[in-house]
Amino acid sequence: MTGEPLLRITNLRKAYGDKVVLHDVQLTVRQHDVVCLIGASGSGKSTLLRCIDLLEPVDDGEIHLGGVEITDPLVDVRSVRSRMGMVFQAYNLFPHMTVLENVTLAPRKVHGLSAADAEDRARTLLARFGLADKADEHPDRLSGGQQQRVAMVRAIVMEPELVLLDEVTSALDPELVGEVLDIVRDLAERGTTLLLATHEMGFAREVATNVCFLHEGVILEQGPPAQVLGDPREERTRQFLRRVL
């Protein structure tokens, strides 16, 4: 494919004090790609996703979204964020709102949809993910898996160009992991561009178009899942895979 990719990261650097957390990161995500970030705990996966969502300022390098440099200090942060959806490891639903209110908040307040339109969209998506009967519940009445599914619906309700997922299943019981991964799979099949940090290697192998292995803030290896997960070039990657598989 030619032309500008959806997301292009060049020479990204991020440090906390003296500790360099991301070093010279290069990453390209084209439209409809599903890119999985793998790597040990503390390797910088969350930090990278947070930098892309402009939750953390970067120390150097550039991030381009759809050809626009979003690391420009003059960029309109809110409009950039409204083009992306992000879901965190801890679901972070707003506890004082119902499921429906959680999902319709941004469509109404950020994207200017009417309450009826927002509700329409929200109910359609909730139904698609088996949450129709939970729409009027508060989050504390939902299971972890249901909460995380709602968080996903909340992030994708406005059909963002890029969806960032940070280990969306790692706070869940094993039997709940499946229902959340089903949503990710559904999104991937519909052509949503996804960038996700995950510890689910089987899932990465199945849905990813690209896998990136992060080690101490450096992308050591990236490529199609069959290659990176099946026949890694780097010894570090092999060590990591032996430990998690």
Partner 1 sequence: MTAWTPSPRQAERDAVRRRLRTRRRLVASVATLVVVGGLVTVLVLSPGWETFQETFLSWDHAKASFPAILKGFAWNVLMFLVAEPLILLLGALVAVTRSTVSPALFPLRLLATVYTDVFRGIPTILLIYIFVFGVPALRLQGVTTSIFWLGITALVLSYGAYVAEVFRSGIESIHPSQVASADALGLSSAQSMRFVVLPQAVRRVVPPLLNDFASLQKDTALVGAVGVFDALFAARDYTNFNFNFTPYVVAAAFFVALTVPMARYTDWLAARYARREGAGAR
Ligand X SMILES: Nc1ncnc2c1ncn2[C@@H]1O[C@H](COP(=O)(O)OP(=O)(O)OP(=O)(O)O)[C@@H](O)[C@H]1O
- The answer to whether 46 contacts ligand X (rule: CB under 6 A) is yes
State the nearest-atom distance from the C-beta of 42 to Mg ion, in Å. Answer: 8
State the nearest-atom distance from the C-beta of 148 to Mg ion, in Å. Answer: 15
Q: Which residues contact residue 73 at a Cβ distance below 8 angstroms, ignoring those fewer than 6 apart?
A: none
Q: Which of ligand X, partner 1, Mg ion, none sits in contact with 21, Cβ below 5 to 8 A by type?
A: ligand X
Q: Which long-range contacts (CB under 8 A, 24 or more apart) does 173-182 make?
A: 173/144, 173/145, 176/143, 176/144, 176/145, 176/148, 177/145, 179/130, 179/145, 179/149, 180/145, 180/148, 180/149, 180/152
Binders of ligand X in range 150-189 (CB under 6 A) = 167
Site string for partner 1, 45-84 (x = CB under 8 A): -x---x--------xxxx--------xxxx----------
* Residue 41 Ramachandran class (φ > 0 left, ψ -120 to 50 alpha, else beta): beta
Binders of ligand X in range 185-224 (CB under 6 A) = none
Q: Which residues contact residue 131 at a Cβ distance below 8 angstroms, ignoring those fewer than 6 apart?
A: 99, 146, 149, 150, 153
CA distance 232 to 201: 14
- Are 214 and 43 spatial neighbours (Cβ–Cβ below 8 Å)? yes
- The answer to whether 44 contacts ligand X (rule: CB under 6 A) is yes
Nearest C-alpha neighbor of 186 from the set 120, 127, 111: 127
- The answer to whether 20 contacts partner 1 (rule: CB under 8 A) is yes
CA distance 224 to 217: 20
- The answer to whether 64 contacts ligand X (rule: CB under 6 A) is no
State the nearest-atom distance from the C-beta of 55 to partner 1, in Å. Answer: 8
- The answer to whether 199 contacts partner 1 (rule: CB under 8 A) is no
Binders of partner 1 in range 149-168 (CB under 8 A) = 166
Complex with ligand X: residue 100 or 219, whichever CB lies closer: 219
- Are 37 and 212 spatial neighbours (Cβ–Cβ below 8 Å)? yes
CA distance 245 to 243: 6
Complex with ligand X: residue 46 or 71, whichever CB lies closer: 46
Complex with partner 1: residue 135 or 219, whichever CB lies closer: 219
Among positions 90, 115, 226, 244, the unique one binding partner 1 when judged by CB under 8 A: 90
Among positions 41, 96, 174, 235, the unique one binding ligand X when judged by CB under 6 A: 41
Q: Which residues bind partner 1 (CB under 8 A)?
A: 11, 13, 20, 23, 46, 50, 59-62, 71-74, 88-90, 92, 166
Q: Which residues bind ligand X (CB under 6 A)?
A: 16, 19, 21, 39, 41-47, 167
